Amino acid sequence: MKFNKWTLGLAAVGAVSLASVASAEEAKMSQVQTALSNTTLSGVVDVGYSQQLGDVRNSHDHFTRNSATFYTPSYGIGNYADGFSLNQVIISLDKPLEADKAWSAGYHVDLNWGDAAVNFNDSPIRQAYVALNTPVGNGINWKIGVFDGVTGYEGNTLSANPNYSRSYGWQVNPATFTGIIGSYQIIDAIGVQAGYVNRDESFSSLGASDNRRQAHSYILTASFTAPESFGFLKGSALNLQTVQGFDNESVDNYSASLTLATPVAGLKFGFAYDYVQSLAESSDGAIYGMYATYQATDKLGFALRGEYITAQDLGDQFDNWVYKNGEEVTATISYNLWENVLTRVEFRWDHSENDTAYYFGRGGDGYHNAFLVAANVAYKF
């Protein structure tokens, strides 16, 4: 084949065009890689098995609290108390704020599925927010979007809580919010938060306000963490929190929690108080919780929780909960035999003081007590 100067010229132009396109694509890829360079991927796969003990002859086909005449304790680990459950599958993407950058920006996303998953608007999203820093004073860190609740002793991730089954305290606090919240660390030991959020349906199953999106609530929290000068109490933490609506249709939450270190290595105590006030029904209720955790070795741990619930005047919203007044005691043993795997076994006793609340109806008498044994396996990556 013969090449003239025109052919060579067109080839040269084509080569330059291709090089420009390739250069532009490389620049785009470089931008993407730069944007993702500090993003981390993590998550949890959490499964379990639970079994009711005692006379549960009417319970095997009705383990939800939806029936007007059939109540079981609310464990927060799935719809069924007899059998296997896929509790949570959590996929997290996170780009944290840069501590040495004044106008830093990042984001966080939690996608979750499962019987114990906390969802936003029936989607797999639990959290999805933009994180921003404004260099005012020590720096104000903002979350704007959907983020986890801030009240109560326990969190939304089962495997991060001391016990496997959820506390009643968790169940009366908002699980997620949609809005904005700012955090400010006054000094190393003292931090505060303030937020303004929608009152929507992304709450826990109990203690939820009216779910009108045009209504709003505000959040206020304060925390104190004991510094090194406190000796063996170093790391102990006191948290005070509230979520309140701006109108008389809201359910307001007040929480106080204390985690207390001890002179015994690995031993900690926890105390929790949750007060729920239904303005629409002019009623209220409270939950008192106590925790003890002991990490005996790197692999072996023990956790004990006790709660006293008084909801005598809280009205219809809690009728299917613990039948007004009651207690629960939960004992958990964890042993991490495999790397990155949390394994737990648990025994739980729920007691209703006022009525025979459990397994009532369908031709059987009710009971004051319910017993549960459960096993939990969670892989964290």
In a shared domain, residues 77 and 13: no
Is residue 273 within 8 Å of residue 257, measured between CB atoms? yes
Comparing 319 with 154, which gets the higher pLDDT? 154
Find the range with the poorest average confidence among 74-78, 128-132, 164-168, 329-333.
74-78
In a shared domain, residues 18 and 124: no
* Other C-beta atoms lying within 10 Å of the C-beta of residue 197: 22
Q: Give residue-wise pLDDT tens across range 285-344.
A: 899 999 999 999 999 999 999 999 887 555 444 444 444 688 999 999 999 999 999 999
Q: Model confidence at 144, in pLDDT bands (50, 70, 90)?
A: very high
In a shared domain, residues 95 and 19: no
Comparing 160 with 53, which gets the higher pLDDT? 160
Is residue 66 within 8 Å of residue 80, measured between CB atoms? no
Q: Give residue-wise pLDDT tens across range 73-94.
A: 778 886 556 789 999 999 999 9
Q: What is the mean pLDDT of residues 236-247?
A: 92
Comparing 218 with 33, which gets the higher pLDDT? 218
Distance from C-alpha of 213 to C-alpha of 194, rounded to nearest angstrom: 19
Q: What is the 3-state secondary structure (H, E, C) of the chain?
A: CCCCHHHHHHHHHHHHHHHHHHHHHHHHHHHHHHHHCCCEEEEEEEEEEEEEECCCCCCCCCCCCCCCCCCCCCCCCCCCCCEEEEEEEEEEEEECCCCCCCCCEEEEEEEEECCCCCCCCCCCEEEEEEEEEECCCCCEEEEEEEEECCCCCCCCCHHHCCCCCCCHHHHCCCCEEEEEEEEEEEECCEEEEEEEEECCCCCCCCCCCCCCCCCEEEEEEEEEECCHHHHHHCCCEEEEEEEEECCCCCEEEEEEEEEEECCCCCEEEEEEEEEEEECCCCEEEEEEEEEEEEECCCCEEEEEEEEEEECCCCCHHHCCCCCCEEEEEEEEEEECCCCCEEEEEEEEEEEECCCCCECCECCECCECEEEEEEEEEEEEC
In a shared domain, residues 189 and 303: yes
In a shared domain, residues 61 and 24: no
Q: What is the mean pLDDT of residues 193-198?
A: 94
User: Which pLDDT does position 65 carry in this prediction?
Assistant: 39
In a shared domain, residues 120 and 19: no
In a shared domain, residues 222 and 308: yes
Comparing 15 with 228, which gets the higher pLDDT? 228
In a shared domain, residues 21 and 65: no
In a shared domain, residues 127 and 15: no
State which residues form the domain around 371: 39-380
pTM: 0.82
User: Which pLDDT does position 366 carry in this prediction?
Assistant: 63
Q: What is the mean pLDDT of residues 40-68?
A: 67
CATH number at residue 369: 2.40.160.10
In sequence order, what are the beta bridge partners of 270?
259, 291
Find the range with the poorest average confidence among 149-158, 204-213, 274-283, 334-343.
204-213
User: Which pLDDT does position 336 carry in this prediction?
Assistant: 93
In a shared domain, residues 297 and 282: yes
In a shared domain, residues 110 and 249: yes
Domains held by the chain: number: 2
In a shared domain, residues 111 and 251: yes
Gyration radius (Cα) of the chain, Å: 26
User: Which pLDDT does position 355 carry in this prediction?
Assistant: 65
Structure tokens at 172: 């009366």
Distance from C-alpha of 253 to C-alpha of 251, rounded to nearest angstrom: 7
